[in-house]
Structure 1
Amino acid sequence: MSSLTPGVSRLSQPPTTAALTARSSTPVAERAAQVRFRRAISLMAMTLVAPGTAQLVAGNRRVGLVAFRTYLGILALGAVMVVAVALDHGLALGLAVNTTLLFWLNLALIGAAIGWAALFFDAWRIGQPLSYSMGHRRVAVGLNGVLALGVAGVLLFSAHIVSVQRDFILATFGDGAASDATHGRYNVLLAGGDSGAGRWGLRTDSLTVASIDEQTGKTVLIGLPRNMANFPFAEGSIMAEQFPDGFDCDDCMLNGVSTWAQDNPTLFEGSDHPGMDATVMAVEGITGLEINYWAMVNLEGFKELVDAVGGVTLDVKDDIPIGLPGDEVTGTIEAGTRKLDGFETLWYARARYGSDDYSRMARQKCVMNAMLQQVSPASAVKNFQGIAKATSDMVETSIPASEVDTFLDLGMKAKSQQVATVSLVPPLINTAEPDIALVHRTIRAAIDKSEGKQPAQTTKKAEAGSKAKADTGTDAPPTSTTSTTGGSVGSMKDGYAANESEDLATAC
């Protein structure tokens, strides 16, 4: 029987003690769970901003102290490095190519990635994730995972970049002794070689000496034609002993020196690069310059480098057929100022249809200048991994790793300088019977002019100009013309502008 008073509704009775307890306990538990959730989020944020502080507040203080002190030490070291680099820009380049430092930095970044991720998961554990609602658990797990994986991912990617940089330095550069500048200049032989199965460096298809002022980075590019013959080798060299009267054998030209040396390796005992060693002896004999280092560029691999930097902008003077004489023409690089990809840039530099070797040399110098001027530090950083891979596949050089920072610094200086060029080609030089004394005077005059000196001696071209002035009372007309041949300004008869210029950019 009901004990309710007649006429009084059940709803009007006061709640029992059990009912009051049930109603009041649920909100309190929820509020406590929400507080713990917010605390967990705070611990994750603390770990993101200052790793180790979450453990100092609510976890293992010893772990927190080690992590936080390590973090502060890294910040302090970073601040010192920023100041040092600001005062000495060369320091950054030196650190970037120090393979020992890069090795330890790679390990440190991997360790930091693992350690920081572990601190995030420990901060999540400290927050008691099982004590709050299912919805909050999911948010905490997701947020912690994003933060831990995000931070670890950035650090691991940085470690990968450091590893790529180290591998690039080890794979590309030599381990020989550094060479001092000669008379204030570094002379580096840049050789372009045909590639293909078994043909790496077999034939030097393009030869240029970059003579670089060791203080200013101002550069003179000295082009040597591949078809030069009857030239001497450096005095006292192995090749000079074999050819005391010059390279005068049948069909022997400059681009065949490397092949000859590789066919006679016993003469170069202990050498890993007999072809390049012999080519250096030839170039020193022709130019009278001491070559400090050499770099062999795989022409096929060169297109990968151009693609890695996003292409290069060139002023294409005439339509350039794609293909070599005797092969089918597969396309055309149309005239006009345009950005070329790696494939197009390679063919712009090496195409021979409707041109001669000397116009091709002029186009190659235009490509060199464009690459120097257009590859900015920002684009190099942005495309670093692709550039490093392309360069490792493309370049073999005798420049030791210890000197890389020196040449990077000179390269940065060279970007703000005019690049001068002189080529040992007709009409000035008879490549079949070169006048070596004239070659030496021509090179010396170009370097003196680049350094702002009055040339001590003049070339035959200058002498001819002086004679014309004396005869007519006026200056002799310039040898270069505005006509183009094979995509290069000028002609073989009058000379190509890009082969002899005080400012290569204006000649291209």
Structure 2
Amino acid sequence: MTTLARPRTPATSAVPGGLIQERPMRYPDASSPQVMTRRGWWLVVLNFLIPGSAQAVAGNRRLGRIGLGATLALWVLVLLAVVGMVLWRPLILSIATNPLALLAIEVVVVLYGILWIVLALDTIRLVRLVKVRPAPRVGIAMLSIALLVVAGGGAAYVARLTDITRNTLGSIFSASGPPVAPSDGYYNILLLGADSGTGRDSMRFDSISVVSVNADTGRVIITGIPRDLEGFPFVKGSPMAKLYPDVHTGHASATCGWSGAINQLNTELDVCRDGAKIYPDAKAQGSTPGVEATKDAAEGLLGIDIPYYAFIDMAGFAALVDALGGVDITVTERLPEGGGPSYEGQPVNDWAIGWIEPGAQHMNGDTAQWYARSRKTTSDWDRMKRQRQLQEAILKQFTPANVLSRFQEVASAGQHLVKTDIPSSMLGYLTDLAIKSKSEAITTIELTPANQVDQTTPDIAYVHELIHSKLHPPTPTATPKG
């Protein structure tokens, strides 16, 4: 019986020319330096632009699928983040400011960076440099190394920035708790500046203001409270209102030496009263008795709810200004730098360590700090105006481009500059409001004699009305025609 033989399919090695023509990237003509050179350039560039593609067309397909899958997943996440910033910005910002989410992002970036490096090294193997023409061989090798450094270095840089962000947010916004709803349309934050810089002997709340941010528009109103203001009430129901049911009168003594001024509350609670008993929950909430008493005083004085505070140490203020690259300030009068006279009537030139001259200036941190502190030749009201001027100048410097280009310096300065009880759960929403506020002008209110506010016996009803009129200005009505 005769058996017909089946036509035999030629082995791969039997028809190399056909495979070379059909799949030249995987089965190149290794005898042609021109073909290998052209293939080498393509593989290196393809792997950089689409990690995993070089392996998919010329190497280990399984490794290629892993690389392409990871790359596609990363692209999808980036696309969702971009679309989310347009459609769901508060949600994306909440994720971007959440420590656990940042840790996850950091891990993903590191793993992807490692995968990219592995793919780049494998691509160099696939190129088979010994088959490439001598001159381009050096170019392909140098390009491969350069792109490897860019890929690995870029991933390391992003991971580093993510780690800095996570650590900075964790150190500043350590308080936990659910976000609070806006009060009468505003988020109100007590901003305290403690002047403990060089030449000072203690930590005092020398700058006291309340930042009110409109919950819808991001509009910012800053109310300045003079540090020596007296005769203020505490908000009803607060621990200090039980001690001072009418207004704060102070309790001068030889031991304490403090008066009824609002900036003396920190001393009163820390030195002359058992602040921990008066405000037993302050420490657990990321605050202090002195801060809580000042917050209750500001609420009673202004007639608004103030759930949070932010504490800025002037000793680290200069570092923040330097980290931002300085600030632009127009100085209206000559101001001395220095702690002040050591005896009554000492000439200014004997104690001034320098002068801030009038005119437009680009100030570094040290000059800006003295600009905010100097008051020996001017009044406290002038000093308050300068502090508000500096606050606005610093806010203008917080542009995305400036912060990103100086991110590590800004984060490092902020980590040692600010303490707050704002919970991390509020960061995304407040960041969104900060972005909105860039298009809004900042309104300032100074509770000074210029606004008919007496510093020893302020008219509290008038102050409440003043604040309300600024926070809720009347809506303009259209004038009827004819």
Bin the TM-score by the shorter chain.
0.7 to 0.9
The residue number in structure 2 matching 1:50 is 50
Call closer, same or farther: CA 1:323–1:56 in 2, change over 3 Å: same
Is this contact kept in 1: 2:276–2:282, CA < 8 A?
no
Cα distance in 2 for partners of 1:91, 1:324 equals 47
Correspondence 1:42-441 to 2 at 5 A: 42-130=42-130, 138-173=138-173, 174-195=175-196, 202-248=203-249, 249-250=251-252, 251-263=259-271, 264-267=274-277, 268-272=279-283, 273-326=288-341, 328-426=351-449, 428-441=452-465
1:475 paired residue number:
none
With 312-321 and 372-381 compared, the bigger mean Cα shift is at 372-381
- Root mean square deviation of aligned Cα: 2.6
- Alpha-carbon deviations, 1:211-233, whole Å to 9, x = none? 22211222222111111223221
**Whole-angstrom distance in 1 between the partners of 2:39 and 2:194:** 65
* Aligned-residue offset at 1:242: 2.7
Question: 1:200 Cα shift?
Answer: 12
Question: Shift of the alpha carbon at 1:158?
Answer: 0.7
Structure 1: state its 5+ residue gaps. 1-28, 455-508
Q: Is the 8 A contact 1:325 1:353 kept in 2?
A: yes
Q: CA deviation at 1:37?
A: 4.3
Question: Are residues 85 and 443 of structure 1, via their aligned partners in 2, closer, same or farther at CA, if it must alter by over 3 Å?
Answer: closer
RCO comparison, higher one (Cα < 8 Å, 6+)? 2
Equivalent position SS for 1:64? helix
Q: Distance in 2 between matches of 1:341 and 1:312?
A: 7
Alignment identity in percent? 32
Secondary structure of the corresponding residue to residue 77 of structure 1: helix
| CA distance, structure 1, for counterparts of residue 433 and residue 147 of structure 2 | 42
Find the structure with the greater CA-based Rg. 1
In the alignment, which residue of structure 1 is the partner of 2:347? none
Name the residue aligned to 1:457: none
Q: Distance in 2 between matches of 1:116 and 1:412?
A: 34
Q: Distance in 2 between matches of 1:63 and 1:433?
A: 77
CA 1:196–1:345 in structure 2 vs 1: closer, same or farther (change >3 Å)?
closer
Per the normalisation by structure 1, the TM-score is 0.77
Cα offsets for 1:25-57 (capped at 9, x unmatched)? xxxx99645543443333222211221122122
How far 1:137 sits from its partner (Å)? 5.7
What is the letter of the counterpart of residue 69 of structure 1? Answer: G
Change (3 A) 1:56 1:365: same
Distance, in Å, in 1 between the alignment partners of 2:219 and 2:152 is 44
- Aligned residue pair count: 424
Report SS of the residue matched to 1:324. coil
Q: Distance in 1 between matches of 2:475 and 2:333?
A: 34
SS of 2:43's equivalent in the other structure is helix
Q: Is the 8 A contact 2:324 2:397 kept in 1?
A: no
- The offset of 1:196, in angstroms, is 5.7
After TM superposition, give the deviation of residue 159 of structure 1 in Å.
0.9
Aligned-partner Cα distance in 1 for 2:458–2:446? 12
Q: What is the TM-score when the length of structure 2 is the normalising length?
A: 0.81
Matched to 2:276, the amino acid is T
Structure 2 unmatched runs, 5+: 1-28, 253-258, 343-350, 478-482
Q: CA deviation at 1:351?
A: 0.6
Preserved contact between residue 333 and residue 344 of structure 1 (Cα < 8 Å)? yes
Q: For 2:201 and 2:170, locate their aligned partners in 1 and report how far apart those are by CA, in whole Å.
A: 19
Q: Give 2:263's aligned amino acid.
A: N
Q: What does the per-residue CA deviation read over 1:292-317, in whole Å, with 9 as the maximum and x for residues that have no partner? A: 21100111212222222222111211
